[in-house]
Structure 1
């Protein structure tokens, strides 16, 4: 499928950004998170903060849930404290009223009337679609609108799957954990464990990953030794995985997956890097982060710190750029990220790539808040954000700050502003909220605390968390 050519660069006059937060993910993930999709989609409202430094831009956010007026007003005040009414006019939402477990692009394609409305909203104005990911659904939307995508082509989407990404890492000269690709079925998992133990005989645990998965969901940690420390026989491994894995996991494993060592050390962290590939094939490192992981086995993304630790940032950025260059040669365009496991111990320091996200991810929206409200550039060599005011900026972000189920968005906004913690456009520091639909669904809200130092960002985040718990 082809889409209209992307513009050579940012338009100098009036232009439109269509933010399309379409989560075209495996059915098992969409079904599990169906009630949470509006909150995930509303992270794209942070794209509207573009009007803070680009008053010629109009932003249209496509979503399945109408944002509350007080939320849009809040973002307008952040973007343009001098003229919030103008910012409010320049950010609109196209609501596709469908709460089913599908990406918003698929839902929009079922509504030719809404596609036509979006086409009229864009009109003859230069425009670009900013997708969350690019599959055939997002390409079909771009074709229908006649508007270019900052992403794609869709046929490259499987390169982000686990087996393909391990091969791509090796091709780019990026180290990977000991592991086996293209594993299908329980017996092949057991065979892969035997192969890994031959190379890493002291290993105690492996991670079984489904090829098509995301955010750590689709990863299962499997112990490979019995209580006496002996390698488990194949039948015991199969039995253990059968007990651990949901039926959907075992079904999807038949489509492909990987088994790789569980990276261990005295200290293990998970830095990542975001990269953008421009239309002309230029590779630009946009950020590095320390990912914060949770869940039963520490496999689920729960938040981030920006930037990554200085000792790792440049190397992580270099690995991500090397992978992006290989993807650019294949025609990839737009945003991607590479996740790394960083281990330290008596063996020294070790960095290995563990995941490729050929899309935006869990750190993209918090970075959007930074670059729109405290504009500057990321210095990949120094691992620092250099703001236009000459200072550095750091942040701490999470999508799951506890508030209380059913608390109104306006009340949460008021609580943060009353406490003096809301983002201050003059100082370009403070807390930006997002994901307000989570208040109803989970009793949580997202928050990105931006400070001039890492300590200031952490203090702001902790203070905001305490304030919102009292809201």
Structure 2
């Protein structure tokens, strides 16, 4: 007997089909930038939670290609009219008023370090506002991630969620991710899963020391963590014997050790003459089809490169096709288990002067990530498409587009700096995105200036080198250098060469 899809799955499939570019079907997208993560991570980001929410503010640009769509953006901090005008400047002039009239903000005025979803559930009046905007319309919720609070919002609103059900969230934990990647045929970094105590950490690190004589250290990663916050590195030169290692693990403190009790992995710290951090992104449809949609090079900083700073698209051509194949294999296993929507797989790539690149699977993300909003910009600001065979973004004229993006351009001296000041600095330097040439800079997370002196940006170029030159010039302009890009990316007259 043929299986019958549940109504929620059918409704989501219909809503997602209505939300494909060019569709004129009336529908509503409820954008829920639900940074619903474990308390340690929320505490780490503190006042930046509202800034992280504004990464998804870029979805307003999608409305230019969806004349039948309305969008409801839920946030704990309403974007200013200056920021809205800035984003609308990238929309064709004749469409701007229509886009603005179909974009609705529901502000949950609460600056505590909690997910906006939890805040929304405490406000039945605002839930009713969202319900009134979706009642009688084809609609769905587009979350950043899905945990139990997002499921409850969906239940209250009676709308389908475009994301993996909360019951499957543990599939993205570090230990489960390693197991699933191995099942998919993805090589993983040497190490072990389900480490839950100081004794087990010491044993796992010592096993790597014995089995991998050339290894320089090991990294402990809490199962339910992200952006490197739950990672701790132990270099063998610093802990030359088990007694010293044990003392170092115990010194991590009660907060970290309590997280360890819930599970962790211990892996070899991958190093070498050349190391990179590529990733692959995909989507799983309600019909369980897996689409690989991008590969990236992730940019890391901090101690032993564990902290995420930004990304570049696309990943190196040396292993782009391997990333695509691995992403499709992992995605199919996730789909078979009931996962839905966006997912990503992070890797480490290593090589020596005499060897080819070797990929090592690190973790699975069942959510959107720092690569999601720059990728959406590429989709919404250019008329190209993702060429799966080459792993590149191809334009109608045969040219290609690449980008460099960061969420972490930070200077405490910028705290309280006006959004208009930064926008105008980029515009004066001639670096703003040119909709005709499909090249230039788009700023995001502009509300981060007020709280912490933080802003994000994405620079789109015809090549990776041009995207990077635009990035460097934009940073210089914001810092006051106001250098300008001339033909072929040289610094001169302010024109962005297309």
Return the TM-score normalized by structure 2.
Answer: 0.90
The residue that corresponds to 1:328 in the other structure is: 335
The residue that corresponds to 2:59 in the other structure is: 47
Q: 1-side partners of 2:221 and 2:211: how far apart?
A: 19
Q: How does 1:16-35 map to 2 (within 5 A)?
A: 16-35=28-47
Q: 1-side partners of 2:410 and 2:470: how far apart?
A: 15
Q: 1-side partners of 2:86 and 2:188: how far apart?
A: 44
Q: 1-side partners of 2:207 and 2:44: how far apart?
A: 33
Shift of 1:163: 0.5
CA contact (8 A) 2:228 2:306 kept: yes
Q: 2-side partners of 1:464 and 1:210: how far apart?
A: 36
Q: 1-side partners of 2:137 and 2:470: how far apart?
A: 40
The residue that corresponds to 2:13 in the other structure is: 7
Q: Name which of structure 1's ranges 352-361 and 450-459 shifts more when overlaid on structure 2.
A: 450-459
The residue that corresponds to 2:257 in the other structure is: 250
SS in 2 for 1:10: helix
Cα-to-partner distance string for 1:92-127 (whole Å, 9 max, x where unaligned): 211111112221111111111100000111222211
Q: 2-side partners of 1:375 and 1:218: how far apart?
A: 39
The answer on 1:464 being equivalent to 2:470 is no
CA contact (8 A) 1:313 1:380 kept: no
Shift of 1:444: 2.2
The residue that corresponds to 2:274 in the other structure is: 267
The residue that corresponds to 2:445 in the other structure is: 435
Shift of 1:376: 2.7
The answer on 1:232 being equivalent to 2:244 is no
Cα-to-partner distance string for 1:206-262 (whole Å, 9 max, x where unaligned): 000000000111001112345xxxx8332211112233x243211101111010001
Shift of 1:389: 4.6
Q: Name which of structure 1's ranges 247-256 and 62-71 shifts more when overlaid on structure 2.
A: 247-256
SS in 2 for 1:341: strand
Shift of 1:73: 1.4
Q: 1-side partners of 2:367 and 2:93: how far apart?
A: 32
Q: 1-side partners of 2:405 and 2:245: how far apart?
A: 38
Shift of 1:311: 0.6
Cα-to-partner distance string for 1:296-325 (whole Å, 9 max, x where unaligned): 221011011110011111111211111110
Cα-to-partner distance string for 1:48-70 (whole Å, 9 max, x where unaligned): 11023222222211110111111
Shift of 1:388: 4.0
CA contact (8 A) 1:34 1:99 kept: no
Q: 1-side partners of 2:427 and 2:335: how far apart?
A: 44
Shift of 1:197: 2.8
Q: 2-side partners of 1:465 and 1:22: how far apart?
A: 29
1:309 to 292, 316, 319: 316
The answer on 1:182 being equivalent to 2:194 is yes
SS in 1 for 2:282: strand
1:105 to 110, 114, 117: 117
The answer on 1:379 being equivalent to 2:387 is yes
CA contact (8 A) 1:193 1:224 kept: no
The residue that corresponds to 1:300 in the other structure is: 307
1:132 to 144, 162, 174: 144
SS in 1 for 2:327: helix
The answer on 1:209 being equivalent to 2:221 is yes
CA contact (8 A) 2:64 2:95 kept: no
Cα RMSD, aligned residues only: 1.6
The residue that corresponds to 1:75 in the other structure is: 87
Q: 2-side partners of 1:417 and 1:87: how far apart?
A: 23
2:464 to 444, 451, 454: 454
Shift of 1:186: 1.0
1:58 to 70, 74, 86: 70
Structure 1 unpaired stretches of 5+: none
Q: 2-side partners of 1:389 and 1:283: how far apart?
A: 28
CA contact (8 A) 1:374 1:388 kept: no
Structure 1 residue runs of 4 or more that deviate by more than 6 Å after TM superposition: none
SS in 2 for 1:97: coil
Q: 1-side partners of 2:177 and 2:383: how far apart?
A: 32
Shift of 1:285: 0.7
Structure 2 unpaired stretches of 5+: 1-5, 19-23, 483-498
CA contact (8 A) 1:3 1:146 kept: no
Shift of 1:3: 8.5
The residue that corresponds to 2:296 in the other structure is: 289
Cα-to-partner distance string for 1:6-28 (whole Å, 9 max, x where unaligned): 13342242211111110110101
The answer on 1:410 being equivalent to 2:420 is yes
Q: 2-side partners of 1:233 and 1:192: how far apart?
A: 13
Shift of 1:417: 1.9
The answer on 1:151 being equivalent to 2:157 is no
